[in-house]
Amino acid sequence: MAGKRSAGLLLYRRGADGGIEVLLAHMGGPLWARRDAGAWTVPKGEYVPPEEPLAAARREFAEELGAAPPAGRHVPLGDVRQSGGKVVAVWAVEGDLDPDRIAPGTFEMEWPRGSGEVRSFPEIDRVAWWPPERARGLLITAQRVFLDRLAERVGGGGDGAGGDG
């Protein structure tokens, strides 16, 4: 997987208490169906240069969620290398989205493995808003740093403390 690159948007909104919530996507398909901790991600997807990472992040947001990405200011949160070697670049953008209105894209895979039967699964099976301290325990380990960077750049209670995962 070395050399692969993904880009995504971390949508956030401000609550009445001044804190923030972030929108995370639960990975779809049978491999993630029974997992919660470590099975959530920033909505993202792969791209190949010369496509610009921010353009890819916006495109992937629309493809994965079936909704247009917010047009607000995109705050760069940098990139991380995940355990499989993929480099993920993320931008934060303030906005709102009703989780019940997503229409995720799909992928196909042989399932059950070795059966010869190819089935279609949603790329993500649900999205939800989480306070940063709860999001930390749900996110893929490498992506947790984006919560710290979000707190540094936009504030609003994303102190990164706590978590349960």
The Cα–Cα gap between 128 and 22 comes to: 8
The Cα–Cα gap between 127 and 11 comes to: 11
| Residue 161 predicted with pLDDT over 60 | no
Q: Taking the model in full, what pTM does it have?
A: 0.86
* Selected residue with higher pLDDT from 47 and 161: 47
pLDDT given for residue 36 in this prediction: 86
Domain 5-154: top CATH class = alpha beta
Structure confidence by residue, pLDDT tens digits, 91-104: 999 999 999 999 98
**Residues with Cβ within 8 Å of residue 52, at least 6 apart in sequence:** none
pLDDT given for residue 156 in this prediction: 59
Lowest mean pLDDT among 24-28, 127-131, 155-159: 155-159
| Residue 9 predicted with pLDDT over 80 | yes
b/e 9-25 (16+ beta carbons within 10 angstroms → b):
bbbbbeeeeebbbbbbb
| Residue 162 predicted with pLDDT over 50 | no
Amino acid at 83: S
CB atoms within 10 A of CB 5: 17
Please report, for the chain, the start and end positions of each structural domain, with discontinuous segments joined by +.
5-154
Helix (H) or strand (E) holding 134: helix 132-138
**Mean pLDDT of all residues in the chain?**
90
Top-ranked range on mean pLDDT: pick from 34-43, 96-105, 116-125, 130-139: 130-139
Task: Please compute the mean of the pLDDT values over residues 128-155 and round it to a whole number.
Answer: 95
**13, 129 contact by CB (below 8 A):** yes
Closest CA to 67 of 95, 47, 88, 38: 95
Tell whether the torsion through CA atoms of 86, 12, 31 and 38 is positive or negative.
Answer: positive
